[in-house]
């Protein structure tokens, strides 16, 4: 092979790699926009202002409020996500903070499913496939948020603070 054939093959490889990367990037951007619109719609359905869904940390606080979770759940979410976002290494405590974040996600998702009068199966589906089941709550006209549903302040844990 001569040098021009090798250069053309390399150029073709990088052009293909660029196109594939561009397509994946556009798909991820579309997914991000869809998720933002979904949460805006979900917050509106829950009686909140739509803009509250897109403000970092504040949206977590509002979600804890309308799902009936205790402020401890919010602190767990912030502690877990802030340390991860800031890439702060706290040694073996990283595991604890990650577990706190998972706990807060499970607690708010559980209470959210209960506020929409959903059963445990739907809750598990919301945990495993949130990109499918949260939009069902947000966009379906059959799904109604019931603020009068009594939930535990730490989801299925019977803890009183």
The better pLDDT of the pair 18, 71 is held by: 18
CB atoms within 10 A of CB 50: 15
Burial class of residue 78, CB neighbours in 10 A (0-12, 13-18, 19+): middle
Residue 100, SS3 per DSSP: helix
Percent of the chain with pLDDT over 90: 35
Per-chain mean pLDDT for the chain? 84
Integer CA distances (angstroms), 124 to 45, 77, 145, in order: 21, 19, 18
- State both tokens at 114: 């209960």
Write down the pLDDT at residue 52.
92
What CA–CA distance (Å, rounded) separates 16 from 77? 40
pLDDT of residue 104: 82
Q: What is the pLDDT of residue 25?
A: 96
Residue 126 has pLDDT above 60, yes or no: yes
| Helix residue ranges, H only, the chain | 3-45, 58-67, 71-85, 93-115, 120-128, 130-139
For residue 146, which of 117, 121, 111 has the smallest C-alpha distance?
A: 117
> Do 155 and 111 form a contact (C-beta atoms < 8 A)?
yes
In contact, 161 and 153? CB cutoff 8 Å: yes
């Amino acid at each position: 092979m001569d040098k021009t054939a090798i250069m053309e093959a390399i150029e073709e490889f990088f052009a293909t790699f660029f196109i594939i990367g561009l397509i994946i990037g556009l798909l991820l951007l579309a997914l991000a926009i869809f998720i933002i619109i979904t949460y805006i719609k979900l917050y509106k359905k829950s009686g909140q202002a739509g803009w509250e869904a897109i403000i970092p940390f504040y949206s977590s606080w509002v979600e804890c409020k309308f799902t009936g979770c205790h402020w401890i759940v919010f602190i767990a979410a912030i502690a877990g996500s802030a340390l991860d976002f800031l890439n702060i290494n706290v040694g073996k405590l990283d595991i604890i903070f990650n577990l706190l974040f998972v706990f807060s996600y499970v607690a708010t998702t559980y209470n959210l499913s209960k506020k929409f009068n959903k059963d445990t199966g739907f809750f598990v589906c919301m945990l495993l496939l949130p990109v499918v089941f949260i939009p069902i709550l947000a966009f379906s006209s059959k799904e109604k948020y019931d603020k009068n549903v009594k939930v535990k302040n730490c989801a299925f844990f019977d803890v009183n603070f």
